[in-house]
Amino acid sequence: MAIYSFFIFDRHCNCIYNREFTHLDHTNGTSVGQVNRNNDSNTSKLLFGILYSLKTISSKLIDSEESESIISNALKSFTIGNYRIHYLESLTRLKFVLVSDNDIDNLQTVLWELYSNYFIRNVVQNSLSPVEFKQSDDIKENETSGKINNSNFINETDDFLQSLPFF
Amino acid sequence: MTDEVLDKQTSVSKSALEFLLQELVPTSIRVSHRLQDSAATTASVLADKDEPTVVDTQLSSIRNDLPGTVHVLDSALINNDEVTLRIETYGYNLGLKLAEVLLYKNNTNGTKIVDILDIMKFVCRDVWKCLYNKQMDNLRTNHRGTFVLVDKSYRSIENFNSSKGVHDTLAKARVHLWFPCGVIRGILMSFGVESYVTAEVTQLPYVSFNIHTSINN
Amino acid sequence: MKVYSIYILNKAGGLIYQNDVNAGLNKLSANDYLVLAGTLHGVHAISARLNPTINGKDTTSEANASPNAQILTTGRFQDSNGNRSGLHSIETDLFNLYVFQSLTGIKFIVITSPNPVVYNIQTVKKREDVIASKGELNKSYEEANGVFKQLYVIYSDYVMKDPFYSLDMPIKSHLFDAKVKELIS
């Protein structure tokens, strides 16, 4: 069992956080992998495209009026090849995505924890961090602004995910 | 109907208040910026007066100052005296009024304020309890009019973390600290004590407030 | 596990068969079903592109190599499901969707009731609260795979052997309909 990567997309379809874990060295406790390297890569764009399509399908196939308790049928996860992709969308249309292997059934609680605790505390309540990540075109030289780049968020989410028994 | 000034509304959303206070610094920077602008050109500033703010609205003529972003904090004005003084003044005015209300309330509890140390204790206990729902962690004095009040986890800045590293985080947090400095100065002033208050922070969220007064005790 | 619907897609992603075996899903217009099929086909293709890169490792070659080797050595393909690297399944609150693909590129889509295990969103109080794996989803995938295999047999018997059926066109065989009903109930 393993968790491979963690993405956050904002409501403008940008990948605002991307963390990839490399599972080479299990004895070494330090975090390995990349942070915010592939935000604009094809991988994150394709992933977003898939998410978006599947979300549409899952809400289309279920009549929301019949099932009163659930506002719309939420996509929880999907499997491609040997990976399972876990998905949680906040009501503010932030999308939290974890990529794991096929043996992990459900990471909804983990995603919720990442959103409700780590994201809220380190991004929303941190007034030095933006909450609006839309890039205007003329600030390309300031590469950090379109991503979550503060060390508290990165370190705390890393610690949280790596402390999970199935990491 | 006499003892309810503070008890009428017993709860204010912690988050809402914090977000509101966090807006002090950006707002102050924007005001100063606009004042500078309007000194140069009066007409351009007043043009967009009645537009409702949307996600693309420029909040000031500072570059990329859009809602939800933090570019305004990178403005050179952040350490401008005018900006920090304005923040401090907000705190000062709050302090002046708050002292009155708290004393009025505590009067029934029998709090006695005799000397300057009592005032400091009042700040540590009652004022901090009222504003941050906690007490100061430490109070030191050299008995020559200088006091150091330590809050080991000052709530308003405890989640601060800039993407540009520790140095930048501390620099921006310091500007936010002018507000509680003003509050303390205002409280002391309402007791007739002239003071000069500065805040020191070397590691978040550990803040020490240095208070210089002219009173020897 | 209750099967809600069965769709069959041709190689180009066109919907050639659609049967709501049990009630549970929304009724869509004919056009919406075609769009849905096209979307799934597209997502499946994108997934196959994404699969090798999502972890930074290249797994396409091995995924493709094993069935090929199997065919070469044994002369036949052991597993009728040729869907290796594309979209396998979708789990939502109210249904699960499984995608299977024959080696010839025909997609069988099976939509079933969701897993009975209900995980509610909750705050993590203890590390033990994070119940991640019970292998439930893999089990239900296998179960759906069973349905697919039988379905594939029926498809071969009653559609492919139907002399009046032209390839890649919508399946309008009552016999096939009846057999699908029989299989599900």
| Site from A17, A119, A125, A127 to mutate, B interface, most B CB atoms within 10 angstroms | A127
Has residue B7 been placed in a domain? Answer: no
Confidence (pLDDT) at A13:
83
Query: What own/partner pairs with CB < 8 Å and gap ≥ 24 does B153-157 have?
Result: B153/B205, B153/B206, B154/B180, B154/B201, B154/B205, B154/B206, B154/B207, B155/B18, B155/B205, B156/B18, B156/B21, B156/B22, B156/B132, B156/B180, B157/B201, B157/B204, B157/B205, B157/B207
Q: If you average pLDDT over residues A97-126, what whole number do you get?
A: 88
**Lateral strand order in the sheet of B195-203:** B138-141, B146-151, B206-213, B195-203
CA distance A85 to chain C (A): 9
With beta carbons under 8 A apart, name residues in chain A contacting C135: 103, 105
pLDDT at residue B158, as a whole number: 86
Give the mean pLDDT of C145-152. Answer: 91
Looking at residues C55-69, what average pLDDT do you find? 54
pLDDT higher than 70, residue A19: yes
Q: What are the residues whose beta carbons fall under 8 Å from the beta carbon of B107, sequence distance 6 or more?
A: none
How many residues in chain A?
167
Answer yes or no: is B162 within a domain: yes
Determine the pLDDT at residue C70.
65
Q: Is residue B8 part of a domain?
A: no
CATH code of B19's domain: 3.30.1380.20
Whether A152 and chain B come into contact, CB under 8 Å, resolves to: yes
Which whole-number Å values give the CA distances from A78 to B194, C55, C132, in the listed order? 66, 16, 15
DSSP state of C128: G
Q: Which residues of B touch A134 (CB under 8 A)?
A: 55, 66
In the predicted structure, residue A26 carries a pLDDT above the cut 60:
no
Q: Do B64 and A139 count as a contact with CB atoms less than 8 A apart? A: yes
Q: Which of A128, A142, A147, A148 to mutate to test the interface with B (most CBs of B within 10 A)?
A: A128
Tens of pLDDT, residue by residue over C130-143, are: 554 467 788 888 88
What stretches in chain B show pLDDT beneath 50?
A: 1, 45
With 0-12 CB in 10 A as exposed, 13-18 as middle and 19+ as buried, what is A40?
middle
Which residue range(s) make up the domain with A81? 3-163
Domain that holds residue B63: 14-213
Taking the Cβ of residue A128 and every Cβ of chain B, the question of whether any pair is shorter than 8 Å is answered with yes
> Does residue B6 sit within a domain?
no
> Pick from B34, B28, B38: which is nearest to B62 by CA?
B34
Instruction: Check pLDDT > 90 for residue C7.
Output: yes
Cβ–Cβ of A20/C47 closer than 8 Å? no
Over residues A114-146, the pLDDT tens digits come to 999 999 989 988 888 888 877 655 555 455 567
The percentage of chain C sitting over the pLDDT mark of 90, rounded to a whole number, equals 31
Q: Among partner residues A128, A139, A152, which is closest to B73 by beta-carbon distance? A: A128
State the pLDDT at residue A14.
85
The predicted pLDDT at position C71 comes to 66
Out of B15, B22, B161, closest to residue A151 by CB: B161
Give the pLDDT confidence of A85-95 residue by residue, as tens digits.
Answer: 999 998 888 99
CA of A94, closest CA in chain C: separation in Å? 16
pLDDT at A25 exceeding the cut of 80: no
Residue B58, chain A, CB below 8 Å: the answer is: no
How many separate domains does chain B show? 1
Report domain extents, chain C.
Answer: 3-184
Evaluate if residue C59 carries a pLDDT over 50. no
- Whether B1 is covered by a domain: the verdict is no
Structure tokens given for B23:
């807006």
CATH code assigned to C3-184? 3.30.450.70
Q: Determine whether the interchain pair C130/A109 forms a contact, defined as Cβ–Cβ distance below 8 Å.
A: yes
Please give the DSSP secondary-structure letter assigned to residue A116.
I
What's the predicted TM-score (pTM) here? 0.83
Contact at 8 Å (CB) between A166 and C132?
yes
Query: How far apart are the CA of B131 and the nearest CA of chain A, in angstroms?
Result: 17
Q: Is the ipTM of this complex over 0.85?
A: no
Predicted pLDDT of residue C2: 87
Residue C63 touches partner A, C-beta closer than 8 Å: yes
C90 versus C132: which is more confidently predicted?
Answer: C90
Q: Is any Cβ of chain C less than 8 angstroms from the Cβ of A164?
A: yes
Q: Provide the pLDDT for residue C122.
A: 46
Output Rg (C-alpha) for chain C, integer angstroms: 18
